[in-house]
Amino acid sequence: MYKLSFTYLLLLAWFLTGCSGKESSQGNNQTEAQKEAAKKAPQAMKNILFFGNSLTAGYGLNASESFPSLIQKKIDSLGLPYKAINAGLSGETSAGGRNRIDWLLRQPVDVFVLELGANDGLRGIPPAETKKNLQAIVDKVKAKYPEAKLVMAGMEVPPNMGGKYASEFRVIFRQLATENNMALVPFLLEGVGGVRSLNQQDGVHPTAEGQKILANNVWEILKDVL
């Protein structure tokens, strides 16, 4: 009777140990499976709002040739979870943008790229007024989406606007970027402005090749922001 009980106890212990090992193995496998599933789970899509004028809109070109669309292609090739929204409007001034921004902020904004001011410069609007309008736009974005990352696209005006005006105009973009902790694209049209072959017949709006350079100028700064 004693031997039978002892043998029974050994068998019971062996059985329980085996079950415990299986459960532990299953638990480990489940944990690994959960980790793999987490890696494969799609990341929430974030919005990049490109807010600007005809330079952003890609005036005279197909929508796919504008620099925001070209940046979207870069983003997709890297598998980053961002959607580029082109909110460029031809002829837009800083004052017009100030009035228009509220409507666009109805959608979530995770990254805000501000490209306005060129039309102000061409019209000779006082730089102080342009700066005031751009600051108001930035303030509205901050108020609605305080966690949004901000990027400022710098702009310059042609020398025929006058040296004093040109220098005062150029500096407002760097000032705004510094004062609002914004990443700065020093000059959006770097490598394109004044180059006849890279601009359309009006000499102002970039060609498709010119837009590719704009996309690179912006991407050099934006990639670190993302």
Annotated catalytic residues are 54, 202, 205
d(CA 206, CA 42) in angstroms, rounded, equals 36
Residues in the chain: 226
Helix (H) or strand (E) holding 129: helix 127-144
Q: Sign of torsion, CA 142 144 145 149?
A: negative
Cα–Cα distances in angstroms (integers) from residue 197 to residues 67, 110, 194, in the given order:
17, 35, 9
Find out whether 66 and 87 touch, Cβ atoms under 8 Å: no
Find out whether 150 and 138 touch, Cβ atoms under 8 Å: yes
Q: Calculate Rg over the CA atoms of the chain.
A: 28
